[in-house]
Amino acid sequence: DIVMTQSPDSLAVSLGERATINCKSSQSVLYSSNNKNHLAWYQQKPGQPPKLLIYWASTRESGVPDRFSGSGSGTDFTLTISSLQAEDVAVYYCQQYYRTPYTFGQGTKLEIK
Amino acid sequence: EVQLLESGGGLVQPGGSLRLSCAASGFTFSNYAMSWVRQAPGKGLEWVSGISGSGGDTYYADYVKGRFTISRDNSKNTLYLQMSSLRAEDTAIYYCAKTRNYFDSSGYHYFFDYWGQGNLVTVSS
Q: In tens digits, what is the pLDDT along chain B, a chain of 125 residues? A: 999 999 999 999 999 999 999 999 999 999 999 999 999 999 999 999 999 999 999 999 999 999 999 999 999 999 999 999 999 999 999 999 999 988 888 788 899 999 999 999 999 99
If chain A, 113 residues long, is cut into consecutive pieces of 10 residues, what is the mean pLDDT of each piece? 97 98 97 92 97 98 98 98 98 96 98 97
Å between A51 CA and nearest CA of chain B: 7
Nearest CA in chain B to A37: B109
Are A28 and A21 within 8 A, CB to CB?
no
Q: What is the pLDDT of residues B45-80, one digit of tens each?
A: 999 999 999 999 999 999 999 999 999 999 999 999
Are B97 and B35 within 8 A, CB to CB?
yes
| Strands of the B68-73 sheet, one edge to the other | B3-7, B18-25, B78-83, B68-73
Distance between CA atoms of B6 and B20, rounded to whole angstroms?
Answer: 7
Mutation target among B60, B111, B120 for the A interface, most CBs of A within 10 A:
B111
The pLDDT value recorded for residue A7 is 96
Distance between CA atoms of B105 and B23, rounded to whole angstroms?
Answer: 32
Are B38 and A92 within 8 A, CB to CB?
no
Å between B34 CA and nearest CA of chain A: 13
Nearest CA in chain A to B93: A49
DSSP B11-39: EE-TT--EEEEEEEESS-GGGSEEEEEEE
Distance between CA atoms of A71 and A81, rounded to whole angstroms?
Answer: 12
The pLDDT value recorded for residue B11 is 97
The pLDDT value recorded for residue B73 is 98
What single-letter amino acid sits at A80? T
What single-letter amino acid sits at B108? Y
Mutation target among A10, A97, A106 for the B interface, most CBs of B within 10 A:
A97
Distance between CA atoms of B32 and B37, rounded to whole angstroms?
Answer: 16
Cα dihedral angle (B25, A100, A69, B42), rounded to 10 degrees? 80
Which residues does chain A have within 8 Å of residue B6's beta carbon, measured at their own beta carbons?
none
